[in-house]
Structure 1
């Protein structure tokens, strides 16, 4: 018996089916799930389209197409369908991000027309924890950033992004979108830092939050303060906030070559449960 498949852009009436699929893998899908829970499926509010792949009339796979191209719960057949659609539309995203296996398959199909990439990070361990580290005392000076401290936190955010991604977030639109995103995190109480004498020495954000899982991003220690254990005590403090106020599972993903960060995360209780892949343009 032949399976009937189709791919289309989802609309607001598809919200329930999309969320059911997203929430079937709450940690892996936290970033997109959080956006959909807030914005729904209207492309203008969501900041992109949500593509759905159907088999025999049932929604089986998703792909978020916005600033990032993100395959979600994607079967090999769905990845091929998403690649065909993305190829026809042309590249509009700044990165492909997703579970390593499906993102790798998607990139292999798109590379002949979209390549070359600026950088491919083929293995980024996905790590989770559900408890506070027993042996590390949270830094008592790490706290939520206030709305009137945007001018204090922004230079650290820009430094982190530039160091991590390789380009400044202030390029292009002058940083308007990036500043708006940081302001959103500050405004929702998901931006944390230790500030000594007016200078950010540690920072991190809870970048995505759902009732089931949240994702920490933007972990950064000022270069002159590195090697003092601030990343561990600072992360312990952010984990404490996250578990108490946000979700029962805390996750993050990290570049495999960043051995120091991976070791620090393991020391505060994170364990590896999978891997992401990022293709940067």
Structure 2
């Protein structure tokens, strides 16, 4: 019998209730929803536990606890419950990421025992669009990466990750998990690039994807090609693929200090619709 409020690890039989929570905000919850729709709630397949916060016997909030710690539709009381469970379990994640308000509260409760963080990005605008680019023509040279082109796209992916996150994705396990994730996206037809003379000069991926929303990630232009507008026409091309082939709404989140990228995304048609926060360890 559940108490008035409680947190627990969800079981496979609670999948429908979890999906109902995720469906309250398909855009903000796309990352977690995509994983749950594919893997269910089995921790081994999901790559982590799904914690649920119940109030009066009703599932109200979630928290994905895997490589990332991600609060979902979590109010202040739910965040406190998730923080208590996270403190008891100890830090196993490489980041905390999610909507800015709940993530900030979660970090304030965990920082005394989990801190210090390597970096805190407290305001990352969430940008959304459901319309094809009106003012920027898609780059006709941006295309899907083929399965036999992993050796071409991987150096660009590693360079982007290292530049964005501050550490190499090849550290630790030698990059096996990261390479597997990129291969998964390539196989799914969600890795895109402009390739010139065997080298990637622009790339991006459609990471999380559900029937209602998808999230563009890993946007990168080779340093020697920056300042030529490739990011705008490249993003217009990726957005075209996303809206026509994947989902009716596309989103991304970007560091608030990256004014150049934010301006480029706005020109392609993205509008700010909230904010995320990331705590990196």
CA distance in 2, matches of 1:115, 1:55: 30
| Aligned ranges 1:17-36 → 2 under 5 Å | 17-36=17-36
Residue of structure 2 equivalent to 1:38 = 38
CA distance in 2, matches of 1:178, 1:135: 35
How far does residue 134 in structure 1 lie from its aligned partner after superposition?
A: 1.1
How far does residue 233 in structure 1 lie from its aligned partner after superposition?
A: 0.2
CA distance in 2, matches of 1:54, 1:145: 43
TM score, norm. by length of structure 1: 0.99
CA distance in 2, matches of 1:279, 1:236: 29
| Aligned ranges 1:1-281 → 2 under 5 Å | 4-281=4-281
TM score, norm. by length of structure 2: 0.99
The list of structure 1 runs, each at least 4 consecutive aligned residues, that deviate by more than 6 angstroms after superposition, is none
Q: Secondary structure at the match of 2:167?
A: coil
CA distance in 1, matches of 2:135, 2:54: 48
RMSD: 0.6
Q: Secondary structure at the match of 2:272?
A: strand
How far does residue 135 in structure 1 lie from its aligned partner after superposition?
A: 1.3
Note the residue ranges of structure 2 that are not aligned, 5 or more in a row: none
CA distance in 1, matches of 2:150, 2:22: 32
CA distance in 1, matches of 2:58, 2:133: 42
How far does residue 132 in structure 1 lie from its aligned partner after superposition?
A: 1.2
CA distance in 2, matches of 1:104, 1:7: 20
Q: How many residues align?
A: 279
Contact kept? 2:133, 2:240, Cα under 8 Å: no
How far does residue 155 in structure 1 lie from its aligned partner after superposition?
A: 0.1
CA distance in 1, matches of 2:102, 2:135: 37
